[in-house]
Structure formats: structure tokens, C-alpha cells
Structure 1
Amino acid sequence: MAARCGGVLVGQICIVLTLLVLCTQAQQCQFPSGFLGDWYSKENGEDTDTVIDGTAFQINSREYGGPCIASRRYNETTTHEQNNKLKVLIRNSRGGNNCYMCLELYLRTPNILQQRSASSCRSSPIAPSLEDVCNAIRPQAGLVTMFRKSAINVNCRTTFEGVFQFTYEYDVGGGGICNSPSSIITACQLPGSVYYDNQAFDMVYAVCPGLSMSKDDTIRYQCLGSWLDDNGNIFAAVMNTGEDRPYRRFRCMLTRKEQQRGNNEVRWTMSESAECSTLKSPYEGPIRLLLTPVVGSTQLREITPSCNLPRNFSGTWFTTGEYDSTVTINYTHIYFKTKIDQFTTRETYFTCQQTQQSSYMMTSVTRGRCEVDYVCFDFLPRHHNIIRYRLGKPFRLSRQEKEQPVEDYLVTKFRQACARPSYVLNEQNYNWKYNTFILYDPSPIECPIQGRYTFKQFGAEKYVTRIRGITERPRVQVDCRDYESEIAICHSRDSKVIEVDAERCRTLDQNARPVGEYDVPDNLLTCVGYWLEDNRSYMVTYDEEDRISRFRCWVYERLTWRDIIMSRAVRAACGVAQTPRSFRASEGASLSIQMFLDEREHDDCPQKFDFGANPWLKENVIYVLGGSITFHGSYILVLCLAFLSLLFAC
């Protein structure tokens, strides 16, 4: 068609051929199914209706637009319609048969279509190519947002999910920020539900005294989907189900992910009409919102406590069950605060509902979430600074159970949540361990291992020599001829602290006393608990200077009367496969230490070993240093009574 046509006859033939080509192209050009429908937009302040059928694009009842001539679809390898991009060349019926318009269309969601366009009119009857017209579209040109009039149901999870208290402020004439605890967004979706609640959310506006623009209103918005633009802004479109005017019925919202705010707060901006171009950032828009996750009023009615936890559970605890979590326990509640990242936390409340023996069934509610779960804790009695527990799988009330009296469904849920299968995913898997709560800050206890030992280290994270703090006076130059690695837990110092010295002077003077009088331990590990589980002895220590984890779990074992071996975990929880000889990360360990008894004449550091069979036993024992006899408190009581009886007999 690019060659010139000479003569009248040839010219007529060329025109006929051109028309045939145009007709063939029109028949081949089809809009994808996701683009078809009746759309509304606000363009240049005017209400605009657009109809896209299989082969044509018509605006305002065929006053603008025309049939499709050529098209090119991008992202054909993806099946997600949100990423669809389409360029279409249409013959503009408003400007005559030789006027053409290129449309650059973006299908953001099943209900949102954005477009920008460029037009071109020519004297030649030959149709221009798609690229010739589309190249006139400026990259910086704004996008027009089109809303599907007959909305397709979309799950709200990508827009809102949960319960939020919000503040709102109008950009013009608002008079200030309205912050009322009664302003609530409720967007509760049930997974797999076919009900309308999954496609809409309620927004309750509360009045603030002194603010003229504040209002007392409840609006139900239907979700139309959300998308991400090239600048990292997250847009969402909603539809006011109680509004008939199109320009007020559709609205846009904008937020961003990287909002570095505490308390899980999220900023949004909302348009007052069907125009997304009025939103620039989470701080710039006609309506500014600040959302804070809260516990919903319907959840509060289901989490009223009806039983008590053991009194010695109260306090602030560190848990090995979740990473970077703080746990607060009182008589009726357990409060988990888990750090997700630097600016985001997850807050979960467990409320005691029913108890039997060591099983405690609780309701679980996460701040900002809609679900109320029933879970079961299996607690062992507290010993030292340790509470050991197992946590079962969550269960929820069905619609039929919610209609039953509270006493009936609580009994049903207790049998379901506290049954043995609820604690494990596979009943044949016996390789499990208790999780632990560790009191924070812990009270030091007597270490289960005592004595003075030399040791050898195996692993990647070994103890090294360091000078702790600043020396009070210059060190004396000592001629040390022999160094050793030493672990000491002595009554003469503090039997509640493990002193680790990676390089200690072993040289003695003529009186068999160490010449290195200025030697100080490199690490001080405070013992906070120990126990026996699955025929393995476990110990937890606390070191506030540990750069990895302040709490560390150890597996220890006595090899002979004089030798002990123990393995240090990577963090506060010991690995399931960890043994006293483990030092690899694949086993959950970072270091293994083999200790050899090395008590000398003037050390006054006798050996002691407790493998933790009964950590609840509070033994009243007097250890006499330098002696071989141990006096129990019961023996002393008998001697005192005998002495008193003799006294009174005289």
C-alpha cells in the first residue's frame, strides 16, 4: 500500500483496496474480555460514559470514538488481568473517517480501567500505523480513571482487612483533625466465604465537637480492587453503596508500604469524587486518614475471662516460641507483642476460658484482626524462671455454634482444642519439645554445674579473650608461662554465675597461689533455669553482653566423675536434634565445650552436678567448703530438737 497509484482507475482501485484492508483489520481487532463493559469517568470536570464492546470504543453515545483498527497487547505471558496493558488504534467518528485516536489502556483491576490518548487527522485515506499515532502520547500525561458501572465482586483483602480506629481531616475547610475512638473501619472477611461481607467494609464516622466538617455517618463501601503505580503508590478504588450520583459514588484511596510509623499506624488519603488524580501521596489529598489497628467491639464480647492462670505465672517473659516477642501474663490474660520489623508489631491477647488439670483453653484475638480463635495451652508448673508449655492448633466457632449457649460451645471447643491431636500435625511424630517462657529480668539461681574446669571448644562461635571495662590501675607485668581456658562456678565467688575465661594465667607462685591476680572472666553467664526432658539435661543462661541472644539454651551431660560436656544453642531455644556434642548450626547449636575438673589447693571450689530430674525441688542443703560431708536441713532440725530436749530434761 506504500507504492504510489497512478491514474484515476488505479487510484480508485487503491481506495477500494485500502477500505478492504481497513475492514479486514477491523474484523481482526478485538478488545480482550476484561476491557469490555460500561464505564464511568470524570474527565475535565464532566461526567463521561464509555462503552467498550468487542470491536469498538464509544464515548457518550457514539459522539466520540469509533471502531477498532489495530491493537497491541502487552504482558501476554501473565494470566493476571491487573497487569494487562493494551494499545488500540480506533477511527474517530467525531472527526471524520480520516481521524484516528490511539488509546493506551491499563486494566488495573476487574473494575478499574485507566487510559490516556492521542489523536491524529490525515487527508490521505490510508490508515496510519499504530506506532505513528501512539508515539504522540506523552509519558508524563495523566491517566484518566474509569470505573465499571456494574461492579464485579472483588475481595477486600487487598484493600482493608481487620478493624481500625481512624482519624480524618479534610484538606479544605475541615477545621482540624477529628480523632474519636468511635470512628471505626470494620473490614472482616471470612476465608472461603460466599457472603457479601468479603467484598465490602463499613466506615463509621463519629462527630468531634468544634469541628464543622465532622459528621455522624456510617458508609458501606464495596471494594473495586487495588493496584501499584510506577512510583510505588498503592491505589484502591471503592464504591459507596448508598450513593446514586456517579461522581460521588466512586472514590479512590492512596497509601504506601514504607510508612515508617510506630504503633502499626498507616496513612491513607481519599478522594471526594471519582478522580484518582487528586491524590498525590499519603499526606496530600482531599481527605487524610490515619488508621490504627484495634480490637473490635464484637470481639470484646467473646473474650471475657472465665478462669484464672496460676498466680506465679504473672510477670513479663521472654518466649522461645516466637522470634523477638515479649510476653506479659496476669491472672486471666497472656499478651504477646511480636516485632515483625522495625516499625511493625503484632499484638495478640489470650484470655482464659476453661481449665482442667494442666490444660487451659483460651480465646485468641490479634489487634487489628477480625478472627477469634480458640487455642489450648498445656502448662507445666513453673520452676526457677522457666514456664514450659505447648500450644495447640486454633479452632473457630461455626455459625451453628455461635447460636448455642456459651456453656455448651465452650465445652465442645475444650474437647476439640485440648485433645492430644491438636498439639501436633502428625500424631506419629514424637520428636517435639516444650516451648519455654523465660522470666525477664530473671532472678539468678544456683547453677546445676559447679566447680573449676579447664575446657576445649568446638564450633564457629567460640569464646575469645577480651578486657571487660577499664582497669583501675596499671596491670603488673607477670611472667606467665602457662595459659589455660577456664570455667569456674564457685561458692567462694558466686555459685549462680558461670565465669568463662578463654585465656587465664595458670602459673603459680611458691605458695601455690596464682600469680595472675588481675585475671578477670571474659564472660559472665547467669543461670536462670534447668530441667530434664527426654533424658537430656537443659540449662538456660543469661548474658546481657551477648551480641546474638541474651538468653542461651544449653544441653549438658556428665561423661565421668570429673568430665562434663555441653552444647550451646544458637539462641534461647535448644534444637530438637541438639545433643551435648552438637556444635553445627544444622543441629541448632553454635558451640560445644568439653570440661575437665581442675580444682587446686586454694581454690575452694568443690564440684557439684544436678541433671535436673526434679527442678521443682527446693532443697535445704548447707554445703561446707573444703569438707566432704553435706548436712541436710532435716538433720540439723533433729539435732536442735535433741539438744533442746536435753536442756529441758536438766
Structure 2
Amino acid sequence: DYFLSSTVSCVCYFPVEYQGIFATQSSLSTLSAGSLHQYSEVTILPDAIPVWGVCHKKFDNSVILRDPTGGQDCYRCFHVSLHSGNVIQIYTEGLNKCYSTEEAALQTCPTMHDIQTKRAREIMLYKSRSFTQDGLIDQVFCPINGRYRFTYDVNDGTESSIECPEPSSELSNCPKGSRLQLRFRRCSFGELDMGLRCLGNWEGHDGRNYLALWDPEVSTDNQPRYRCAMYSVEETTGRVYLSFSIDATCTNHLHSPWDGYETMVLTPVTPLAPPAIVHTTTCRFPEWAQGSFQHLKIDANELWLQDDAADKKYQSLCLSQHAPHGERYALYSQTQW
């Protein structure tokens, strides 16, 4: 999440993972009927964000941009956090304010208190194209993994009943680990299938878990193309509480994993039972291999592997140990179920 740990005055640039073409919400959505979800384009170049200014100075998570477009240089300060290759969250005093000196702009850099108390304006950037040859955005695994049944409620103030009161609807990230497939069933609005692509997840400044999603099927302004959600996993049951904001922001009608414009309660579906041998074996991976790594987690007799190329996660259970020195293991494996 950090640019540099100290002030740099001679060179100011954005690392390659920040660069690209992004969509940002250009109007605030409300609960009133007929709200439109409109987006504008923001490009981050190596040394500038053209609509806001040229990179002038960076320190910690803040950057001062110099805007020469008014005929005379003025300066703005932005707090910038990279949450994934696809999601950047920016806080600023406001785009309508610009200062004649760097020192004056420096005094307006959003503090953690400004962010936590929502005094600073939030701007969410969702990458739509990268500067790579194919232009594709990063593939990011969803933090919600497996199969679930869910209830669903829209808190738009128009009715008191729950839209999908029974856990008959289904959600899963199968067959692709970076996409959530939702099948709404026995709901007041009928049946609906939709897919959401996970763009990134992070722990917010408030300690909550956030998730950014993209609906590639949306082609009109009547539905949000980008969504921000909060989620919480109940460790004892695996139940997931998931709430969405009304639009692409992470603040508009989004208060907690239990209180948002749309709320869902996901109950995990019990996976298929592994072969009986899994329950009788004493096989265990060695102590030196236990722990969490970039795309691998090993815990006792269980191994989780994330395969970016295949867009899948594999769960493997140790069955038996072989070879002269026990360096080979027979495994029972399955993908997202």
C-alpha cells in the first residue's frame, strides 16, 4: 500500500502496478427512483494523472500533483492506496480545491483521522484496461471460496419483506476462482442468474474486510457496473455476511457486513465427503513445510494450492508417505466444489 518510506523530491513517478486506464463513478447514486450509474475515465501514466495533474512529490501514501491547466500551477494532495492490480482507493480534500503552493497543499493531505471519520472524499478507481500488450486486467481470486446457499434483501425503503427469504439461492466461485456465480431462486422478483468478477479485496482503515466486484454483463446506466462490498466470515460455522453499497463507492449506504443497500447471508454447502481412507490415515506434512505462502497453505494434513493460470484453487489431503526418505506423498485433491 506504500509508495516510498521517505520523501523524494528529484523524481516523482507511479510504479507500473498503479498505471492503467480506470473507471470511476462520476455521479452519486441515491435511493430515489431512476438513479443512474455513470462513470468517467481516469488514466494513470508513469508521471501523471492527466485529469488531475503531474506527479510532483510523494511521501508515504500521499502524493502531491501539480495542475498546470489553469495557466498557473496549482497543487492538490491525494492519499493513494493500491488494494490490488485492479483497485485503487484515493482520498482527497476535493477536486474543486487547488492551492498555489506545495506547502499549502501539504497541509490538506488527508490524515488517518480524516479518512476514518469520512471527512475526506473517497474516489474509487477500477481498472478497465492495462498498458500490457493484451490490455487485460489482473485475474484476482475471490476471498469467498466454495459453494453457498444464501438469503438476499434489498434495503431500498420501498418494502418490509425480504426479496429472497429462503436459502434456496446459490453462490459459488466454480468453475473459475476469480468469479462469483449467483443463482437467485424462489425470490419475489423471480429467478435470475448473474456473474461477478472479483477485482480485489482488502482490510479497510476501519478494520473491515472489503471486496470490489465487476459485472461485465451490465451495459446500461440503470445498473451498477462496479460494486463495493463488506464481508465477514463466522469462523465457527463458515457463514459469510455480505453487504453491498448502492453503487461503486465503498461508503454510499454501506455501513457493515450486516447493514448495506443489499445484504446477503451465505451458508456453506457441505462438500462431498472424501474417501474413507482420508479419515483413517495418520499422514501429515512435515513441520518445516507448515504455514502460509504466496499461493500455498499447508496445515497439518491439508494443502491448499492457488493456480493462477488455471484460475482454480485445489485442496489436497495427505493420504500416505512414500519413497526411501519419505519425500513423496499420495494425495486426495479436489478443486472448488
TM normalised by structure 2 equals: 0.67
Select which of 206, 220, 232 maps to 2:185. 206
- Cα deviation, 1:282-323, whole Å, max 9, x if unaligned, reads 12111010000114xxxxxxxxxxxxxxxxxxxxxxxxxxxx
Matched, 1:152 2:142: no
CA 1:390–1:91 in 2, change beyond 3 Å: closer, same or farther? closer
Deviation at 1:144, TM superposition (A): 1.9
Select which of 57, 60, 69 maps to 1:70. 57
Instruction: Report the equivalent of 1:255.
Output: 231
Matched, 1:35 2:18: yes
Contact 1:166 1:290 in 2 (8 A): yes
Instruction: Report the equivalent of 1:169.
Output: 153
CA 1:174–1:217 in 2, change beyond 3 Å: closer, same or farther? farther
Select which of 33, 39, 43 maps to 1:47. 39
Task: Give secondary structure in 1 for the equivalent of 2:80.
Answer: strand
Task: Give secondary structure in 1 for the equivalent of 2:224.
Answer: helix
Instruction: Report the equivalent of 2:291.
Output: none
Select which of 226, 238, 242 maps to 1:268. 242
Contact 1:234 1:256 in 2 (8 A): yes
What amino acid is the match of 2:262?
I
Unmatched segments (≥5 aa) in structure 2: 1-8, 29-37, 130-135, 284-300, 303-316, 327-337
144-153 vs 127-136, greater mean Cα deviation = 127-136
Deviation at 1:142, TM superposition (A): 4.1
Deviation at 1:268, TM superposition (A): 0.8
Deviation at 1:271, TM superposition (A): 2.6
Q: Tell me the distance in 2 between the aligned counterparts of 1:231 and 1:54.
A: 30
Task: Give secondary structure in 1 for the equivalent of 2:277.
Answer: strand
Q: Tell me the distance in 1 between the aligned counterparts of 2:272 and 2:79.
A: 50
Task: Give secondary structure in 1 for the equivalent of 2:186.
Answer: coil
Contact 2:147 2:269 in 1 (8 A): yes
Counting matched residue pairs gives 263
Equivalences for residues 420-569 of structure 1 within 5 A: 423-426=319-322
Q: Tell me the distance in 2 between the aligned counterparts of 1:111 and 1:292.
A: 28
Q: Tell me the distance in 2 between the aligned counterparts of 1:110 and 1:128.
A: 31
Select which of 376, 382, 386 maps to 2:277. 376
Instruction: Report the equivalent of 2:83.
Output: 108
What amino acid is the match of 2:40?
T
CA 1:70–1:170 in 2, change beyond 3 Å: closer, same or farther? same
Matched, 1:121 2:99: yes
Matched, 1:134 2:136: no
CA 1:227–1:135 in 2, change beyond 3 Å: closer, same or farther? closer
Task: Give secondary structure in 1 for the equivalent of 2:206.
Answer: coil
Task: Give secondary structure in 2 for the equivalent of 1:376.
Answer: helix
CA 1:135–1:277 in 2, change beyond 3 Å: closer, same or farther? closer
Task: Give secondary structure in 2 for the equivalent of 1:280.
Answer: strand
Equivalences for residues 273-422 of structure 1 within 5 A: 273-278=247-252, 279-295=254-270, 350=273, 364=274, 374=275, 376=277, 389-390=280-281
Deviation at 1:427, TM superposition (A): 5.4
Q: Tell me the distance in 1 between the aligned counterparts of 2:111 and 2:70.
A: 17
Q: Tell me the distance in 2 between the aligned counterparts of 1:129 and 1:30.
A: 21
Contact 1:29 1:71 in 2 (8 A): yes
Contact 1:272 1:286 in 2 (8 A): yes
Contact 1:154 1:225 in 2 (8 A): no
CA 1:245–1:272 in 2, change beyond 3 Å: closer, same or farther? farther
Contact 1:91 1:97 in 2 (8 A): no
> Rg: which structure is higher?
1
Contact 1:232 1:256 in 2 (8 A): no
Contact 1:142 1:277 in 2 (8 A): no
Q: Name the % identity.
A: 20
Q: Which has more helix, going by share of residues?
A: 1
Matched, 1:242 2:242: no
CA 1:71–1:175 in 2, change beyond 3 Å: closer, same or farther? same
Contact 1:95 1:121 in 2 (8 A): no
Deviation at 1:44, TM superposition (A): 4.8
- Cα deviation, 1:150-194, whole Å, max 9, x if unaligned, reads 362333242x210000100000125422134541001136xxxxx
Q: Which has more strand, going by share of residues?
A: 2
